[in-house]
Amino acid sequence: MKTSMKFFTGLLLAAQFLSGCNVSPNIQFECPNVETNLSSLNAKGSLILDASETFQTYLMDMNSQDMIQINKSEENLEFFEVSPGRKWMVYNAAILDENLNYLLNDIVIAGVYNQLIKSLPSEDNWGPIHWLDDERLIINLIKTGESASLNFLVLNPFTNKRQELSANYPNIYNQKPLPNWDGWGITAFNPQLDQVVYLEGDVSGPYYYTLWDIQKKEAITQIQAPGDISTIPRWSADSDKFAIAPSLFSKMGDYPSYDLFSVSRDGSTTQLTHLSDYYPWVYIGGLSWSPDSRYIAFWYSSWTDMPSFGTRGDYFLGVLDIQTGLTTNYCTHGELGAEVGSRKYQPPLWSPDSRHVIVKSQIGEDFLNFQTILVDIQKNRAFLIAEKLEPVGWLVSP
């Protein structure tokens, strides 16, 4: 009886999604039951789970499902980022006193099982840190004063080689506060550092996502960004293209209308999804590429009634297969009642082998109350991994 009820619930969820939409061969719905028994979970690597409220960080061996705490009692580990090859991770390791004041704040480079590779003192002007490739970090250098110009440090933590970049591109948007593209300001460099996507326009608009050739100092192509300048462009793992989910200029009367596009290095633009053709109103939130560059996982909300200003929606997990053009909605929600543009939950996180997606899934009205759900996109299965532990990184097996 329980099995039948769960199956019916899955069908009901799918029916709710399909109501008010046109049926399309480019989208399908899979609503797997969330399993609590992990004995049949076939996953590999090391998953990093963080409880920011209690300053506890855990490492879960996905082969055995064993979990160990990796931070010391006086430590707070935060701002995790895993390298593109999933071999290394970087994070801040802060030593706290009894009043939770920072006594020490180091940048740590670690390998699988949190093996310490190197520890660097965080410098005064260092902002958010990301991996550029498997050897170099790119660090936003914080500037004080009236200027909103962007400067970056490219650092090889293994050799200490440094290179500074200045994002002084034509008509780059420089009004404070800058849109926050995950700490990059309004720039997204490719790993080769020969191309960058940046936001072009002044305070009154119009705005464009400009793909810029750094060596030739010329624009390759532009995508207009009407009304929404916070959408983050993401380079694929193979760095051949970037993906973006802009508001569609041709459908501004039906706002919100969003779809995924890819832009190749030569500027060729391809529409990847057609959600706006059959959802009356749809918004796409954070997106992430799979390590093999075949899939894009993303959050999206849809409405059957015309949203008013300030309308909220529930984010659900969509996975696009680039090869087939098929988008799958797994009926797995993230943030509930989210404002359009909200990024309280990070984009879906991929396993190193591109088989699994793991997400935060809100419980009830409080976005701080959540579960961590893993979705096997090959077997259409879902597993409960943890409660109130956020997935922040997934490394390969040693």
Q: What is the pLDDT of residue 149?
A: 63
Residue 191 has pLDDT above 90, yes or no: yes
What mean pLDDT do residues 204-220 have? Answer: 94
d(CA 24, CA 347) in angstroms, rounded, equals 25
> pLDDT tens digits, residue range 333-358?
999 998 877 778 999 999 999 999 99
Tell me what pLDDT residue 103 has.
72
- Is the pLDDT at 19 greater than 50? The verdict is no
The whole-chain average pLDDT of the chain stands at: 87
| Across 361-380, average pLDDT | 94
Residue 185 has pLDDT above 50, yes or no: yes
Q: What digits encode the pLDDT tens for the residues 221-234?
A: 999 887 678 889 99
In which band, very low, low, confident or very high, does the pLDDT at 20 lie, cut at 50, 70 and 90? very low
Going by their DSSP bridges, the two strands 126-131 and 241-244 should be labelled as unpaired
pLDDT band at 79 (very low <50, low <70, confident <90, very high): very high
Question: Is pLDDT at 360 greater than 60 in this prediction?
Answer: yes
So what's the pLDDT on residue 53? 81
Pick the more confident residue, 75 or 265.
Answer: 265
Instruction: Give the model's pLDDT for residue 9.
Output: 34
pLDDT score at 6: 34
> pLDDT by residue (tens digit) across 138-177?
999 987 654 556 899 999 999 999 999 999 899 998 877 7
- 283 Cβ partners below 8 Å, 6+ apart? 256, 258, 300, 301, 302, 313, 340
What gap in Å lies between CA 203 and CA 40, rounded to an integer? 54
Of residues 314 and 24, the one with the higher pLDDT is 314
3-state secondary structure the chain: CHHHHHHHHHHHHHHHHHCCCCCCCCEEECCCCEECCCCCCCCCCEEEEEECCCCEEEEEECCCCCEEECCCCCEEEEEEEECCCCCCEEEEEEEECCCCCEEEEEEEEECHHHCEEEEEECCCCEEEEEECCCCCEEEEECCCCCCCCCEEEEECCCCCCEEEEECCCCCECCCCCCCCCCCCCCEEECCCCCEEEEEECCCCCCCEEEEEECCCCEEEEEEECCCCCCCCCEECCCCCEEEECCECHHHHHHCCEECCEEEECCCCEEECCCHHHCCCEEEEEEEEECCCCCEEEEEEEEECCCCCCCCEECCEEEEEECCCCEEEEEEEECCCCEECCCCCCCCCEECCCCCEEEEEEECCCCCCCEEEEEEECCCCEEEEEEECCEEEEEECCC
Q: What is the pLDDT of residues 21-62, one digit of tens each?
A: 445 668 999 999 999 999 999 999 999 999 988 889 999 999
* Of the candidate ranges 53-62, 247-256, 361-370, the one whose mean pLDDT is the lowest: 247-256
Please classify residue 82 by burial: count the beta carbons closer than 10 Å to its beta carbon, then call 0-12 exposed, 13-18 middle and 19+ buried.
buried
Q: What is the pLDDT of residue 179?
A: 75
What is the tens place of the pLDDT at every residue in 82-114? 999 999 999 999 887 777 676 778 999 999 999
Instruction: Read off the pTM.
Output: 0.90
